[in-house]
A and B are shown apart, each in its own frame.
Chain A
């Protein structure tokens, strides 16, 4: 035997799911299947959901419906990409929903004042400032991220209302602006929001998995002290994660504004929890140090398809809130159960 076995004999859900412990010999042994489920359980669940809903209503799998679901998930998805960085670094970002409202309102307002060409970069800059503020408080001042971003949720909401004077924001000349291109155009038959979501997911996915920065995010979230002892500048890493989160929020705000060309002050309200749900559903640990962009995308899609599927089988819209919560609890429970090897355990 090797010395490696003594502590955790488990199914090996290591950091980043994919890079796990040595697979035991013997191909698809019982342990092998359990190990596969532990690593890819979320993917399996996704496929099962898809099959189930398709059997219940075959319209579910039609190209129109599938594209529709992905498209309506794209804004949430873009935000979840950024939050994935923050969560892996061991922190939370609950301000993304209200920050998205801010971005949307600001870009719509500036559109009519300075034109779309300037409004977009100005909105990105302002949103990044908010992210930098989060990052400064959590990274450099080492304040608790839950408190900081929960407070920012409220503060940014106030900022948005102040900016808009509490009124809805609409573009005056809706027919005559190219600004609608991000939310409404299609390229090769695929809606732009989907393309932007997938493009951003690929870029950020590669960044997280392949670059030194990505590696540092995992290290800081996995063990911040050890990361510091290895010469990693922890504050700077956390700060950058919040910047990435804000960048994603700004992109989401752009998509939202471009799609509707008008907005309420509360358009992003409540999305922070849905975003967090998608990230956790994808399998990122709230303690930090694990998760991937790919898994977050799957989490986003699962959430979107389940909500859509429930509508198609005739459940009332409001029931979705409850069902979504149940699914998240199930996902978290199964994740923990897979790690400790049984469903109920006397020790955590």
Chain B
């Protein structure tokens, strides 16, 4: 029997007040792709930091090929053959591919000068193995994200890797790029490396992994063979129940048209866009990345100046010049980039939640902190935000809880129109289904909601009607009865499938 490439034995890591890892054990065999799954906050990141030499475990052992190892820095982890391919790339974008791959270990000639010939030759040899379409002299910044990831992988191949850890590698890849990545992973596996694959995306997990280990609340919940399980069983392990992604069939009583857009254009970003949302309705926007969905939301929120067309709120034409203006008119946006656009990570939960209305919550010249706490408490309870208290710094919360803070921030403004852009990106299944449920509830309460999403099951699950976009234009608007996965995919690929059927107009 071969020895595991990497084995974790009973790893415990505690931080003041919390037990982040509570006896986690699992092993990765050479030539195995091993998925690590768990909700945000389940302990995956902490575990990875332990493996990466950033945290020291309080108890337990890390064993590489039957040798117990200690790693005090990332360099030591790398020296032990544990290599990371991070979700957020850590490349020097102004340097060449070769320089990035051998950074810190550039081959030298006399007088300490870099031996460029050897450097490029070695690099090209590795790139050839990966079958990529660029060479050692390419500047990294000029490459696509997918190709930059290949550079990271190439870097991993320069050491004698025992275990390679992929952390959400497909987060920003197209389908074609994904399949190239999966080929590379298959090659790696063929060469006897152990692979840990972290992802929230079930379909990928089932496509490429051999076994799945699940963490929940910092403790190890078990390992199963991928071939002998299904999505439901894994979800059960992760959150203790299953996730409902059935089609939305319940329709609420619709009120008046809250928002109408006529012929809106913005340069090359989108053209001649028309749609409307009624009170009590969820309008989904579906399309490929770059189809113009987010840009429309930004125009509605005063972040972009439309070059033509008009926006009507409750039947009146309005001009929206800034987010400040949009908010005053009753439009709220839950932005797609939670950390960059949604939250001030260094601020506490309460202050983040009340930020848009801080000018209105006043007691004399001062902020009415009591009223703020009341608002925070109300939405913490309503959205089930798990935090020790309002003083908690938002940056310390898990992704799902952070997203709920952003949603609470906008709900507390009681908007006429709520736009949510990628509401569940990068958050775990448990929070995901809570947020889906919440979106439906909001519609039931009479909010007009626009949901932008790149995930088809999500759009189908929450929307009453779905707008399909392709290359800056609306291809078709579907009702939830007429939409199918097939005609939706055709529409967002620029194919007008049903030539006879009239393009559905807003109800």
Chain A interface residues toward B at CB < 8 A: 1-9, 12, 14-15, 19-22, 24-25, 29, 31-32, 35, 206, 210-212, 215-216, 218-219, 222-223, 225-233, 289-290, 346-347
Contact = CB atoms under 8 A, between A and B. Distances in A.
A15 B20 CA distance: 24
A8 B217 contact: no
Given A2-B386, A232-B356, 14 more contacts: A2-B18, A2-B387, A3-B39, A3-B400, A3-B401, A4-B401, A6-B45, A9-B18, A21-B391, A21-B392, A219-B347, A225-B341, A230-B356, A289-B347
Interface string B240-254: 000000000000000
A135 B276 CA distance: 41
Interface string B345-372: 1111001000110110110011100000
Given A4-B387, A226-B340, A35 B16 contact: yes
Contacts of B387: 2, 4
B284 interface: no
A219 B396 contact: no
Nearest to A11: B16
A72 B370 CA distance: 40
Interface in B379-410: 386-389, 391-393, 395-398, 400-401, 409
Contact of B327 (A7, A231, A290): A231
Contacts of B397: 3-4, 7
A9 to B, nearest CB: 3
Main SS class of interface, A: loop
A11 to B, nearest CB: 8
Nearest to A229: B341
A293 B392 CA distance: 22
A233 B324 CA distance: 7
Contacts of A206: 366
A7 B355 contact: no
B223 interface: no
Nearest to B357: A231
B395 A7 contact: yes
A212 B358 CA distance: 6
Contacts of B40: 3, 6
A211 B367 CA distance: 5
Interface of B: 15-20, 22, 39-41, 43, 45-46, 54, 73-75, 217-218, 301, 303, 322-324, 326-328, 333, 335, 340-348, 351, 355-356, 358-359, 361-362, 365-367, 386-389, 391-393, 395-398, 400-401, 409
Contacts of B41: 2-6
A100 B328 CA distance: 40
A219 B341 contact: no
Nearest to A214: B367
Contact of B388 (A2, A7, A9): A2
Contacts of A24: 16-17
B356 A22 contact: no
Contacts of B45: 6-7
B396 A1 contact: no
A230 B355 contact: yes
Contacts of A225: 340-341
B388 A212 contact: no
A6 B20 contact: yes
- Which of A223, A226, A233: most chain B Cβ within 10 A? A226
B399 to A, nearest CB: 9
B393 A210 contact: no
Contacts of A215: 351, 355, 358, 367
A8 B301 CA distance: 32
B19 A21 contact: no
A133 B236 CA distance: 61
A65 B454 CA distance: 68
A227 B344 contact: yes
Contact of A1 (B19, B54, B323, B395): B19
A229 B344 CA distance: 11
B389 A8 contact: no
Nearest to B349: A4
A222 B347 contact: yes
A224 to B, nearest CB: 9
Contacts of B358: 212, 215-216
A4 B399 CA distance: 10
A347 B75 CA distance: 11
B344 A219 contact: yes
A335 to B, nearest CB: 14
A230 B361 CA distance: 15
A237 to B, nearest CB: 11
Contacts of A222: 344-347
B75 A8 contact: no
22 contacts: A1-B18, A1-B20, A2-B41, A5-B20, A6-B40, A7-B396, A9-B16, A15-B344, A210-B366, A212-B359, A219-B344, A222-B344, A222-B346, A223-B340, A223-B345, A226-B341, A227-B355, A229-B341, A230-B323, A232-B355, A290-B346, A347-B74
A168 to B, nearest CB: 43
A212 B347 contact: no
Contacts of B54: 347
Contacts of A219: 344, 347, 351, 355
Nearest to B73: A346
Given A14-B393, A15-B393, A22-B389, A212 B20 contact: no
B324 A232 contact: yes
Contacts of A14: 346-348, 393
Contact of A211 (B344, B355, B365): B365
Given A1-B20, A216-B358, A347-B54, A22 B395 contact: no
B342 A229 contact: yes
Given A4-B387, A15-B346, A346-B74, A210 B367 contact: yes
A211 B343 CA distance: 20
Contacts of B17: 5, 22, 24-25
A216 B45 CA distance: 32
Q: Which 8 interchain pairs have the tightest Cβ spacing?
A: A9-B15, A3-B41, A24-B16, A22-B388, A24-B17, A222-B344, A5-B18, A14-B393
B15 A5 contact: yes
Given A215-B358, A219-B355, A229-B323, A6 B341 contact: no
Nearest to A8: B396
A4 B323 contact: no
A162 B19 CA distance: 66
Given A1-B19, A4-B401, A226 B342 contact: yes
A215 B365 CA distance: 13
